[in-house]
Chain A
Amino acid sequence: MAYDKFNILKSSAVPLPIENVDTDQIIPARFLKATERKGFGDNLFRDWRYNSDNTPKEHFVLNNPIYSGKILVGGKNFGSGSSREHAAWAVYDYGFRCVVSSFFADIFRNNCLNIGVLPVQVSADFLDKIFKAIEKDPKTELEISLPEQTITILATGESETFNINGYKKENMLNGFDDIDYLLNIKKDIEVFGQKTPL
């Protein structure tokens, strides 16, 4: 499925300064029963966001109206655990287009890239600066430029570059997905498959 193009994103951000946020928190397993990719945003961080009687937990950041935006900023080792792409779908469906952390778990990072959510890995120092800037002013904006591979705290002008491989960058800029690429080289794959025993 082709996805939204990503170029420059300027937005306020939602801070979640917790480490090792695993995909069971992002979307608990009991919400993985759908056969279509719909509505996962409603259950993003379900058990941190709602009490067992479905009333919102006041202190959770997503329930605090002073925080909003298309960027989610998480602590170190974001997205660890289960490979469920539903976690990335929930992040996207809720309205985030970018997740910033000082370290991402492997599969979550891939899943994000595969659906057009940009994972931006920054240094621990810069992550701290972002958290501090948001603490000071919840409406503070970040600018993420994919072409330049930079992330900037607009209020202070502080900026850092981030890594993404050239292939994925092109895909994100153009909204292409891997399956389109693979289907284009299907002949080569079939030749390879023939010489590879079962």
Chain B
Amino acid sequence: MLNFPAWKVALICLVLLWGGLLALPNAFTDGFLGIEPRDTGATDPQSIAEYQQQMEEAEASWWPGVLPTSKVNLGLDLQGGVYLLTEIDPDEVAANRLETLQADIRDVLNSAPLITRDVPEQQGSTLPIRLRNPEQMDDALRRLRRINPTIGATGGEKIMSIEAQGNDLIMISVSQAARQALAADAQDKMIEIIRRRLDPDGVSEVSITPQGDTRIVIEAPGEADPRRIKDILSRAGRMTFNMADSSPSSIAAAESGLPRPGWELVQDENGISYLINRTPVVSGSDIATANQGYDPDDNSPAVDFRLTGSGAERFGRTTANNRGELFAIVLDGKVMSAPRINEPIWGGNVQITGNFTMQEAQDLAAIIEAGELPGKLGFIEERTVGPGLGADSIRAGTRASLIGLVLVAIFMIIAYGLIGSFAVGSLLANIILILGALSGLGATLTLPGIAGIILTIGMAVDANVIVFERIREEQRAGRSPNTAVIAGYERALSTILDANITTFIAAAILYMLGSGPVKGFAVTLAIGIVTSVFTAFVVTRWFTAMWLRLAKPRKLSI
């Protein structure tokens, strides 16, 4: 127990050194470590000055590349930011997907020999079709099955379940399995679209992760206002170009409930009504890119976009055939712009102008380019911490840790004297190892996590105390210092393991079932338990062994 051959000493030193090196980056600024600042795209002078200063610092850095540079990851409650939990409604996704098949369903039932022209509107995600002639049932079922696509890769679940009910009714619905497959598919698509909307340039630190089958977690560090994100993600993003008619007579007819067949009324943000053709000339999939640009007339922010080859071709032809008419750019059921076609527009470059701020134009461009969401995204939880509160929490947490550490150290030295100071030494080693492990594992430190570290500081001495108390007893029983220490450690081991395994179980459960900040608490608690057993049982023992060898005390004063 007191025998420390060179390799054991080397191993202990190696572990401590490694932990120390992993923890070291936390003491320095990013620039000092040679980490180049992130280009956030901010254009105000202060941000640019900061960026340049950090860049210079990073370039002047002499930090060797072989040393670690990653720091402890701060949770949103410490660095400030927005956390949003969103949910997809699988029923709505199913209904939306079924709706896209309606045109095909009408077509196949409409073709010769005619089965029915009378396909009703779907109710939710079911579509009952009544046949005129029951003898056509088999033919109808065959035709419908031919247009039933699979979800995702081939061989997957079919979208529609098509059943005959009675002799003249066909019930089309979306089965439970198909709903799940659609939701999973929608979740993947949503994540991709959310990323393109919130982070069109791929520079921000926003993190978008799936949770379960229907939920998506969005974490945006540094963001102080959740409204912008909520707003960007609330829009469906369905963008179409439609031919439009604003003549007073057609509008009046439509308002009295008799629109031209195949046309519908929509309004712009000023409440002006337009009659638009339901069949769009250009839709979302025809848009290649969208960017924030400037209106050449007054240099105000605008949205520029470019159509794909086939979209540009179709748009060009339509504009050539409809000179003098209006066309409307419609986003989510609202007319954004309705210019008159003065000449054919070839080339597929289009601009929307309006009273946009720079931010609005950028967000709108991102929404248009990212495309339409497969369903509505519902927000079910929001947590935002401003940068001020985050910084205050770090300061308060750091102060509480330092005070706790000093108090525990004083207490241990008063209680046990010299050997207590060995325990304090290993307590410091413990904190370095915790920081090293957090940095090395890329774990997230939250405010409750800091509480976990402080709690570990208090409980870490427990293993030392158990050993010391054993040593006291053994010495009282008349043993020499060396044998007392050996016996103390030997007999305390099973107790220490039993006691710590139980706390570890609690931390592990907390980690598995907890969320966010609480998870952070579980991580530091669990890491703290492992490192404190190591430091108390190995590091303190090593200190004690060295001291026994060097000082050769007759009696331990503990």
Chain B binds chain A: no
- Hey, which bits of chain B sit against chain A, CB under 8 A? none
- A residues engaging B (CB < 8 A)? none
